[in-house]
Structure 1
Amino acid sequence: MTVYAIAQFEIHNRDSYDKYTAQFWDVFKQFKGSLLVNDEAPKVLEGEWPKDKIVVMSFPDEAAFMEWVTSPQYREIAKHRIAGATGPVLLAQGVQF
């Protein structure tokens, strides 16, 4: 079943975060995911949202997500994301009709 990774980041070190984003696509495209949303200016329609960026990705299943997120290639660039931004990353199951 399709899973969605949803990240909400607060960027506190732009240089580190930019190192991550500069390498992200080359790593991501090696895996089975799709980048659906990558927005540093989402419109907040209700409530408060104290973050800077939202990212939504889809993967065919949880195993495909785990293959990407635990890969040596991703772990190598993730250190720049961790140094440059904080925030939750959620993994949600898609709906099957």
Structure 2
Amino acid sequence: MSVYIIAQLKFTRRELYDRYQSRFMGVFRKFKGKLLVADAHPIVLEGDWPRDKVVIMEFPDDAAAREFQNSPEYQEISVDRKAGADAIVLTVRGL
């Protein structure tokens, strides 16, 4: 069953987030994931959404998602994401 990581981001220090983003694909492509969405201009159809960007990644299963999220390579670059953006990050299971 596919697992998705969904991140909703509010930029706090864009230069740090941009440094993270410049290194992201080099790390991400080493894992079994697929980047589905990375939209810095989503259109809000209902309610308040005080965020700047949404990212959705697909993985074949929970183990693959955790392998990426917990990898030393991702942990190294995620320091800049955490310093550069306030994030809500979820893992959800597909149907």
Q: Do these two structures clear the TM 0.5 threshold for a shared fold by scoring above it?
A: yes
RMSD after superposition: 0.5
Q: What's 1:59 paired with? A: 59
Given the two structures, how large is their TM-score scaled by the length of structure 1?
0.96
Q: What's 2:50 paired with? A: 50
**Matches for 1:80-95 after TM superposition, within 5 Å:** 80-95=80-95
Unaligned runs of 5+ in 1: none
Amino acid at match of 2:40: E
Aligned length: 95
Shift of 1:71: 0.5
- Could you list the per-position Cα deviations for residues 51-88 of structure 1 after superposition, in whole angstroms to 9, with x for gaps in the alignment? 00000000000100010111111001000000000121
Q: Percent identity over the alignment?
A: 52
Q: Which portions of structure 1, spanning 4 or more consecutive aligned residues, are displaced by more than 3 angstroms?
A: none
Cα separation, 2, equivalents of 1:90 and 1:72: 20
Q: What's 2:24 paired with? A: 24
